[in-house]
Each structure stands twice: as structure tokens, then as C-alpha cells.
Amino acid sequence: MTASSDFEDYAGYTKSPDGEKEVAFTLIDDVFTTYDFPDSQKTHFYALGNSGRAAGHYQDSDGLYHGVILENGELRQYDFPGAVETQIYGISDATGTLTGNFIDASGVRRGFSGDTIVEAPEASETYADFVNASGRMVGSYIDADGLYHPYMRQANGRFISLDLPNAAQFEYFFVHGINDVGTLVGRSKKVGDVPRTSVGSLQHGLHPVQYPGSVSTEGWNINQDGSVVGHYDSPDGRRHGFIARPTDAAMSDHFGNAYTVTLSKGLNMISVLLASPTPMTAKSLVAMTGATTVITLDTASQRFVAWTPSAPDDGFTVEGGKGYIVNVPKTRNFAFIGASWTHQTEAAAAAPPAISTEVPREAWAFVVSGHLEGEPAFDGYKVIVRNLRTNSIITASVQADYFAAATADLTRRSVVQVGDVVEVRVIGPNGNFESHTLSVKVTPEHLANAVLSVRLDGIGQPTQNLLLQNYPNPFNPETWIPYQLSEDSSVSVSIYDTTGQLIRTLSLGFQSAGFYNSRERAAYWDGRNTLGERVASGIYFYQLTTPSFQQTRRLVIVK
């Protein structure tokens, strides 16, 4: 993140879905949108006005930078007059003025604000970043000795520079933002060091700010309430956006603890040792750890519950003193940030942090998850997953159209292995099977993610008419006859003895297409003939008949 408005909208840049290119983004009214200037190598936003207008720059195919402005959902190019390259870093909410820097044909870099060229005295290069409502501009310039000087330029054109202690040690020092009360945000890097952020004022000095547990922290924008946005790098090399809000010293100290965790590739058992400043959920734990899934044991039901990134919600609440299983595709280093937990769950649920294993051919925890299609709603639906090798069965409720069925062995014995075949079926609220059985073979990729993702379509919509085996069979004195219809039709079931004589006809009437296999929906026979008499023990045949389909199967009565 590189920019924000005073209404908690944000802008910056991110990776394209294929991971090959950096593209600009806005997050406005909780709507995330990416932008890619045509034929560019990359596109970045560095400014966002309260009106939703964004600006930044893109790099063309020759490696040159050009300003880019987002207005009314469309990108347009902006080049400062006479510039070979243009970079935009600020938009004034008061006037709409663009601020940035440009390089002319002679190769000199100068700042600009609107149509005004900004050049600090005795500077070899001048960077301009932002102008606040009172006309004060901030930026940095490089002197003849190559040293960086942060500056503030008054509305009357007067420059006030900040002399840095040990200026020669800085590889760069940029001041990017100033709010209306004069609070500044900047970023710098000393030779041989990592990028760091500073917040403060020219009068009282700039003070370092670091995201706890981060390798580097870079702040880019400061709002009227003093909140800073930027990004930080975690120990595993990932980059994350952050929002830093002002608070009092007691609160800062309370949530200033950091605990570094290393997760090995594959399955890990961890405990969240610090309480996050905001409530932590399965979704935020996955985002923090880079996990493919997170699994917890619901102590009330003694069943495992899982969350995967395709879930429609944030998942279960993450608590202190409780163990969580996470699977990561590669070794991760990250930090938990927060305060000590004020209460713990029962000690029996606690788990040691970062105990891990890597088993390429088998796994001690596994999730089968996916989405359902074919019905307008799936309230009360469940999914049953069975491993044909172990005959173990796990059940998960459907939320919206999503399910996640989890299994695990906390002693780390294998629950699934490569080549296992799992069957997946859907059960409706009345216990009726509502789908064909889906069979999937477990692959090494499934084990690497600890997740097998499936999509179950055509729920409640059979692809063919079919008469199924009655149950129980043999029976006495009653049985249920399941069937399925691929289209709406009138249905009857006839019972015959071994001589072909008709014993009983069950007229089921006009039935809608669907699965009829639960006791509530299947055809029912009480073992009596047309006269109401119980028939003798032996073999009988039952026949399903519709206007376009007929099928016969055998049943047995035992007395």
C-alpha cells in the first residue's frame, strides 16, 4: 500500500493474478480493483484523493516512466511538459494539484506541483512528493556531494531542510507525506541496512517506526488523523500492506510484543501465543502464515473443523492456549504481534508452537473442501466423505455453497496417503442423498496442500433414471425401494413373484426429477399383496416404470 484517503480507502500496487507483473490497485468502499496501463512493464499508484482519483506512474516497454491518472474508472497518461520521464506521488484534496518529479532532456530531475517546477537550492536532483491544504510541500533533494536532505517548501517558495545526522550513511532518504498539522512520514535506507520508516516533524525530529517482527518497514502516506499506510517485509520474504494508527504509549506497549515463529514445509501444529490488536480468525491466521488450510478441534463436538481460502466467511475465532494445524507450501518465518492473552482455554487444548513434519507420500491431517451447484440454497445440507481404503467417514455442514471436511490424527499417524480414493456425496436436510457419488484419487499435490478441492454440480439433478437396490434386503416385514429420476414423470413400482404374477403395484403418482433414496422419499412396501395379506418368504422382483423408462431388480423376504 502506498496511498490512502481520509475515508479509509487505499491504493498501491500488487502482483497480477499470474504473478508475472506488478499492477496498480484501489480499494474503495471495500471494492478491490486492479489497473494495468496498456503495453506497460508495470503500473503503480502512489496517490489517492478523497474523491477516489488515483495517480502514479507506469514503466513503458523502453523502461521509461510516465505519469498515470485514474479518473472515472479510466487510466490516462500524464507527462509533465518537456519531460522525458514523469513520476506522480501526490494529489491535493484542496486543489486537485498533482505533485511529483520529472526528468528533462538534459537528464536533470526536478520536482513539480501543478505547472510549477520545484528545484531546491544547490540541488543536483529534487524530488517533490506532496502538498497539503496550506500549500506546504514535502520532498527530498540530493546535494552536489550526493547526500540526501528532506525538505519542506513553504507556500511562499522558501525551503526548510532537515540536516540528517550522519547523512553520508544514508543510501536514500525520502519524505513522502505531510498532513495539515505538519506531521511527516518518510522512508530511508542506510548503506548495508534495510528500509525503515520515520514519522514526526521538522521541528521535533523524525522518529523510527517499525512493524513488529518485520524485516523492513516503509511508510508512504499520512492522513489527517495521523494514520500511516505502507508495506513491510516479513522474515519469509513476503510483502504485506499495513495501516499504523496513533495510540497512547500504554496501548502501544500492550500490543508491542512480537513472537517469531518458524513453520516447516508441510503440516505444523502451532499455538497463537499473543492476542492480536484485532480479533484473529482462521482467515487472518492463514493470511499471516501463508497456509493452504487451518484446522482446529471443536472441543464440544470433538470433531475437526477446517477453513480454506475459498470459504465464503472468515471462519472460526482463533484463541490463545489452543492448538491449530496449518499446512504451508514452503518454510515460513513470521511474527505474532500483540498482547498477552487475558484468558486461556483449557490446558488440554494447548499445543506447542511450530512442531512440524514433512511426509510426501502420506499426511496426518487432511481436508476435502469445495462448492456445490444445482440448488438455489443449501441450508441444512451436509457432505459425507469416505476413504475407501480406511473406510473412515467425515461429515461437514454446508455453509452457503461451501464445505470443508477435516480429519487429523494428533499423534501424527497417517490418515491419508497417495493413491487413496475418497468418495464424496451430498445429503439434503431430510437425510436424502442429493448427488451422485464423486470418486477422487489422492495425488501428491493434494498432500502437499493438505487439501483436496472438488466442485459438486448438479445437486438434486440426476443425469439418468435409475432403480436402486432396496433396503434392508433381505427384509421382514418392510422395505424401502430407492430410485432416481432425470425428468419429471409419473412413477409406479410393481412387485412380481418368480412366476411373473403381479403381487402389488405401488402407484407413486407424478414425481419431480430428483433423488428418491431416503426413507422419507423412497418407495415403501410393507410386504403385503393387493389384498393386504403378507406374502410368503422367497425371492420377488420389483420394477420401476415411467412413460420412458423401466428397470427391474430382485429382493428377498425372509421370515
For the stretch 63-72, pLDDT in tens is: 999 999 999 8
How far is it, in rounded angstroms, from Cα 283 to Cα 290?
Answer: 10
Q: Give pLDDT, residue 343.
A: 55
Q: Which ranges of 416-479 does DSSP label H, i.e. alpha helix?
A: 444-449
Type of residue at 183: T
For the stretch 422-458, pLDDT in tens is: 999 999 998 999 999 999 999 999 999 999 999 999 8
Please say whether the beta carbons of 252 and 334 come within 8 A. Answer: no
Please say whether the beta carbons of 553 and 496 come within 8 A. Answer: no
Q: Give pLDDT, residue 235.
A: 83
Q: Give pLDDT, residue 347.
A: 36
Nearest to 387 by CA among 440, 351, 343: 440
Q: Which ranges of 425-471 does DSSP label H, i.e. alpha helix?
A: 444-449
CATH number of 3-250: 2.120.10.30
How far is it, in rounded angstroms, from Cα 114 to Cα 14?
Answer: 28
Integer-rounded Cα Rg, in Å, for the chain is 33
Q: Mean pLDDT over all residues of the chain? A: 91
Show the cell assigned to 99.
505533485
Which helix (H) or strand (E) element contains residue 536?
A: none
How far is it, in rounded angstroms, from Cα 70 to Cα 87?
Answer: 14
Show the cell assigned to 346.
483449557
- Tell me the whole-structure pTM to 2 decimals: 0.69
Burial class of residue 188 (count of CB atoms within 10 Å of its CB; 0-12, 13-18, 19+): buried
Which residues in 293-357 belong to E strands, given as ranges? 293-298, 303-307, 323-328, 332-338, 355-357
pLDDT at residue 360 is higher than 70: no
Q: Give pLDDT, residue 351.
A: 38
Q: Give pLDDT, residue 171.
A: 94
**So what's the architecture of 466-557 in CATH?**
Sandwich (2.60)
Which helix (H) or strand (E) element contains residue 249?
A: helix 249-254
Contacts (Cβ under 8 Å, ≥6 apart) of 514: 434, 460, 461, 462, 484, 485
How far is it, in rounded angstroms, from Cα 138 to Cα 147?
Answer: 17
Which helix (H) or strand (E) element contains residue 143?
A: strand 137-143
What is the location of CATH 2.60.40.1110 in the chain?
363-456
For the stretch 514-545, pLDDT in tens is: 999 999 999 999 999 999 999 999 999 999 99
DSSP letter at 436 equals P
For the stretch 169-193, pLDDT in tens is: 999 999 999 998 899 999 999 999 9
Strands 332-338 and 257-263: antiparallel
Q: Give pLDDT, residue 94.
A: 83
pLDDT at residue 463 is higher than 60: yes
- Mean pLDDT, range 260-278, rounded to an integer: 87
What is the location of CATH 2.120.10.30 in the chain?
3-250
C-alpha dihedral sign at 110, 116, 121, 122: positive
pLDDT at residue 358 is higher than 70: no
Q: DSSP letter string over 90-119?
A: EE-TTT--EEEEEEETTS-EEEEETTEEE-
For the stretch 300-345, pLDDT in tens is: 899 999 999 999 999 999 998 889 999 999 888 877 888 877 655 4
Q: 272 falls in which pLDDT band (50, 70, 90)?
A: confident
- Mean pLDDT, range 493-504, rounded to an integer: 97
Nearest to 339 by CA among 248, 252, 249: 252
- Helix or strand or coil: residue 153? strand
Please say whether the beta carbons of 129 and 120 come within 8 A. Answer: no
pLDDT at residue 359 is higher than 60: no
Please say whether the beta carbons of 125 and 108 come within 8 A. Answer: yes
- Mean pLDDT, range 470-491, rounded to an integer: 96
pLDDT at residue 25 is higher than 70: yes
How far is it, in rounded angstroms, from Cα 39 to Cα 68?
Answer: 13
Q: Give pLDDT, residue 320.
A: 86
For the stretch 217-251, pLDDT in tens is: 999 999 988 999 999 998 888 889 999 888 888 88
Cα-Cα-Cα-Cα torsion 357, 362, 364, 366, nearest 10 degrees, comes to: 120
Q: 109 falls in which pLDDT band (50, 70, 90)?
A: very high
Q: Give pLDDT, residue 352.
A: 41
What is the location of CATH 2.60.40.4070 in the chain?
466-557
For the stretch 42-71, pLDDT in tens is: 999 999 999 999 999 999 999 999 999 999
Query: What backbone phi and psi angles, to 5 degrees, belong to 445?
Result: -65, -40
How far is it, in rounded angstroms, from Cα 541 to Cα 1?
Answer: 71
Please say whether the beta carbons of 450 and 293 come within 8 A. Answer: yes
CATH number of 363-456: 2.60.40.1110
Please say whether the beta carbons of 461 and 514 come within 8 A. Answer: yes
Distance in Å from the first CA to the final CA of the chain: 76
Q: Give pLDDT, residue 345.
A: 43
pLDDT at residue 346 is higher than 70: no
Residues of the chain with pLDDT > 70, as a percent, come to: 97
